[in-house]
Amino acid sequence: MMNDMSRRQFGAVVVGSTAAAALAACTPFGAASSTRGVGLTVIVVGAGVAGLAAARDLYRSGAEVIVLEARDRIGGRTATIVREGFALDLGASWIHGLDGNPVTELVNDAGLGLIETDVESAIGFDAATADGVLDDAALARAGARLDAAVEAGYETEVDQPLQRVVDAAASGASASEARLIRYLAASAIENEYAGPLSELSAWWFDEAGGYDGGDAMIEGGYAQVPEVLADELDVRLGAVVTAVSWGDDGVLVQTASESFEADAVIMTVPLGVLQSGAIAVDPPLPEAQQAAIAGLGMGVLNKVFMLFDEVFWDDSVDWIGIVPPDGLDPWVDWVTVGRADDVPVLLGFAAGDLGRSVDAMSDEQVVASALATLRSAYPSAPEPIEVLVTRWGADEFARGSYSFAAVGSDPEMRDDLAAGVGERLHLAGEATSREHPSTVHGALLSGRRAAENVLGDLGS
């Protein structure tokens, strides 16, 4: 249906120096017109993958859409820096599970190249063994103990932090096996789910689904995904949304200097931003959504990229695992990210408590901490010639890396977030995806779902 010109003006924004001035000058939900297809006007808050996916579907369906993004770039938690032709992904690196993954489809359609990596392509170090190499058989025994404790953790009457599960696995094990159990927990649990063991739910931490088919990085960097999604969209950068009001007739979205009226709003800001209360919502979100925002956890996974003069590590593998010697920080996972391009770069991960401490550490402190553990495997590792450290927890527009299932939460909380508030206010973003939280594909699908809901509610 072509626009009947009966809807309110969209984005005919009132510019004022303060939010109050903007509000005073803006007639909330006043009548004017949308100029596109279905006569529907939508504000999307956040130009990450969820927001851009929602905006793209709405725009293609004929709605008029403005995306308000606080940063001076799009992409949110997908961010790429290119140094001398080499792409460093500061946020998401991998398409996890290539088969049937909507990100794979998008990347293929855009003609982007993939760099497949394999977790089986790995070498492990343990300074406690005679030859310094990780003992695979001992690791398998430690893994079996941890698996059994995790299984038992699903069955308890009351949920508990995963730390207790890991402690139960380690109790009764030999000292060397207990070290391997803690190594596995840091690598396979904390580095995967980002939350600290002391906060992750033993019942729900690994509840989400996934795709088959191995993992791949994107040649040239992940930031190309949001760029593809943003094509043709009206994205306003530097637009920090401070307040959202909603009612039966429409919504009013405010930044410090502007107010936007529309039929509906889709908020895609990260869970950490919702938790911070940085955006005032009026009337407040219903109880179920507030409980979900408070109940789910926001984890921190940080990265350190270290550029060296030359490769000193085993460059025939994708992954290097290091069992941290006592007293050293658990920089347990390293990726030889420069392999495909022949660049001597290593990427190390810090999650859980270590991830959060990196937020407050200087680059020098991070290098000292990471290098100490790396040198337990490669004693002659030199100082890096360049270093790049992420601090996602300290980033005011992320306030963490991705959501996790905290003790006391349950997966239905994500459905509560996804449900929307009436017809006018919708939430999207990785934390609202019950099936694929904490991922780019979850964000993408959540944005598509929110767009579909808006069109279903208001589109005809």
Binding site for ligand FAD (CB under 6 A): 45-51, 68-71, 76-78, 91-94, 96, 240-241, 268-270, 273, 278-279, 301, 303, 390, 392, 397-398, 401-402, 429-430, 438-441, 443
Would you say 169 or 300 has its CB closer to ligand FAD?
300
Would you say 168 or 239 has its CB closer to ligand FAD?
239
The least CB distance from residue 46 to ligand FAD, in Å, is 3
Would you say 70 or 317 has its CB closer to ligand FAD?
70
The least CB distance from residue 72 to ligand FAD, in Å, is 10
The least CB distance from residue 49 to ligand FAD, in Å, is 4
Calpha distance 414→38 (Å, rounded): 30
Would you say 39 or 393 has its CB closer to ligand FAD?
393
Would you say 168 or 431 has its CB closer to ligand FAD?
431
Would you say 151 or 396 has its CB closer to ligand FAD?
396
The least CB distance from residue 390 to ligand FAD, in Å, is 6
Calpha distance 49→26 (Å, rounded): 30
72-111: b (≥16 Cβ within 10 Å) or e: eebbbbbbbeeeeebbbbbbbbbbbbbeebbbbebbeeee
Would you say 77 or 179 has its CB closer to ligand FAD?
77
Would you say 180 or 266 has its CB closer to ligand FAD?
266
The least CB distance from residue 152 to ligand FAD, in Å, is 30
The least CB distance from residue 260 to ligand FAD, in Å, is 12
Would you say 168 or 351 has its CB closer to ligand FAD?
351
The least CB distance from residue 252 to ligand FAD, in Å, is 15
The least CB distance from residue 247 to ligand FAD, in Å, is 21
Would you say 30 or 238 has its CB closer to ligand FAD?
238
Calpha distance 119→216 (Å, rounded): 11
The least CB distance from residue 401 to ligand FAD, in Å, is 3
The least CB distance from residue 350 to ligand FAD, in Å, is 10
Length of the chain measured in residues: 460
Calpha distance 181→142 (Å, rounded): 5
